[in-house]
Structure 1
Amino acid sequence: MIKVGITGGIGSGKSTVCRLFAACGAAVYDSDREAKRLMNDDSDLRVRIIAAFGEECYTAEGLNRPRLAQEVFGHPERLRRLNAIVHPAVIADFRAWAGRQSGDYVVLESAILFSSGLDREVDRTVAVLAPESLRIGRTCRRDGVDEAAVRSRMAAQESDDFLRERADYCLVNIVEADTQAAVEQLDKLFRHESRNS
């Protein structure tokens, strides 16, 4: 079995690409969703987050995401500290999850694949790219935010050039039918590689 990492900036269509891989039969691990689950359910992680950022980061219902975001975003050193706590737990969880899967390959979705070190957990990487104007439009519609808010979030992410230089494959996601055809080609390639490795 090979492991494939999917990454891309906000509005690029990572989730669409992962949905298309899932339709091809691949199991998909959403690292963002699983990190949130772990921060809620893993008692050791909870203790370490509280020790680093305060009791207010949790409520009776679980993780207080707005409060934690307020603590770390715009504060690079605090964000690095949070990532140093959370990323190892996500990596361990991904390894365990991948070990339970069957099939020729699995997919790991992560917006921060390279900066988190998750790229070292996979055999192949795919960067999902799209024109900036399209990404902004998609995100404004999806999140109900204005262009300035999207540009601010984009500025904090790895650039398409950064991703293009590091990824094994680049997939331009403009028209879904074309994206689906590209995913189906990669699906065939990954299955072939897995069966012949």
Structure 2
Amino acid sequence: MVKIGLTGGIATGKTTISKYLASLGIKVIDADLIAREVLDLYPEILSYLRRTYGDRVFSDGKLDRKALGRIVFQNKEALSRYLQVIMPRIRQEIEKRLEKSEEEFIILDAPLLFEEGFQKDVDLTITVYAQKKVQLERLKKRDGFTEEEARRRISAQMDLKDKMDRSTYVLNNSGRIEDTILDLHAILDKIGFKDEKKDKEKK
């Protein structure tokens, strides 16, 4: 089994790459999806949020993720405290799913791959990169952020250069997605993944 850690900064296109890899038949363990699931699996997380923020992060009794994001991504201490509560449960679920997997190739899609030490659980890593100006434009267009909000959200994360320096491979997604996919396939070829659909098309 080859375990691949996939990470990147906000609005770099990591999710697009992750979905494309899944379309090739590669199993993807999505840390963001697990982060949502643990809220149901471990009620103490929601209890912590209600005790800490009250109704500010709830709407009709349900967690308002955007409201929570506006709070924790504007305050590094608040983000750190939240991660201390939720991350042990996310790690628990990720490790459980990695152990159960029997596929030849598996992707761990984790925004906090390096920040939380998940690179130790995989064999190699890929960081999806985009120029900061591209990130800013995508964030403003996608989420309706102001320039200041977009910059704040980017600065709340580990510097992309640090992630790139620590990665086995870097995938530049600043331009056309078609070019990024070609570069991705070059990486997949290097690690021994054969795209059966592509091979059939050639024949």
Does the pair score TM above 0.5? yes
Aligned to 2:108: 108
Aligned CA-pair RMSD = 2.4
Aligned to 1:34: 34
Aligned to 1:190: 191
Q: What TM-score, normalized to structure 2?
A: 0.80
Matched, 1:131 2:131: yes
Go from structure 1 to structure 2 and tell me whether the alpha carbon gap of 1:13 and 1:19 turns closer, same or farther (over 3 Å shift): same
Go from structure 1 to structure 2 and tell me whether the alpha carbon gap of 1:13 and 1:64 turns closer, same or farther (over 3 Å shift): closer
* Runs (5+) with no aligned partner, structure 2: 194-203
Compare 145-154 and 38-47 and name the one that shifted more: 38-47
Alignment check: 8 A CA contact 2:73 2:156 kept: no
Aligned to 1:195: none
Alignment check: 8 A CA contact 1:26 1:107 kept: yes
Matches within 5 A, 1:47-86: 47-50=47-50, 53=52, 56=55, 61-66=61-66, 68-69=68-69, 72-86=72-86
> How far apart in 2 are the matches of 1:75 and 1:128?
25
Deviation sequence 1:9-49 (CA, Å, 0-9, x none): 12211011112211221111221222022123323444455
Deviation sequence 1:156-192 (CA, Å, 0-9, x none): 1222211121111101112211211122222233346
Alignment check: 8 A CA contact 2:4 2:107 kept: yes
Go from structure 1 to structure 2 and tell me whether the alpha carbon gap of 1:54 and 1:158 turns closer, same or farther (over 3 Å shift): closer
Number of matched pairs: 191
Q: What TM-score, normalized to structure 1?
A: 0.82
> How far apart in 2 are the matches of 1:180 and 1:6?
15
Go from structure 1 to structure 2 and tell me whether the alpha carbon gap of 1:140 and 1:68 turns closer, same or farther (over 3 Å shift): closer
Matched, 1:121 2:83: no
Go from structure 1 to structure 2 and tell me whether the alpha carbon gap of 1:75 and 1:153 turns closer, same or farther (over 3 Å shift): closer
> How far apart in 2 are the matches of 1:171 and 1:97?
26
Aligned to 2:200: none
Matched, 1:24 2:24: yes
Shift of 1:111: 1.9
Compare 53-62 and 90-99 and name the one that shifted more: 53-62
* Runs (5+) with no aligned partner, structure 1: 193-197
Go from structure 1 to structure 2 and tell me whether the alpha carbon gap of 1:153 and 1:168 turns closer, same or farther (over 3 Å shift): same
Structure 1 moving runs of 4+ over 6 Å: none
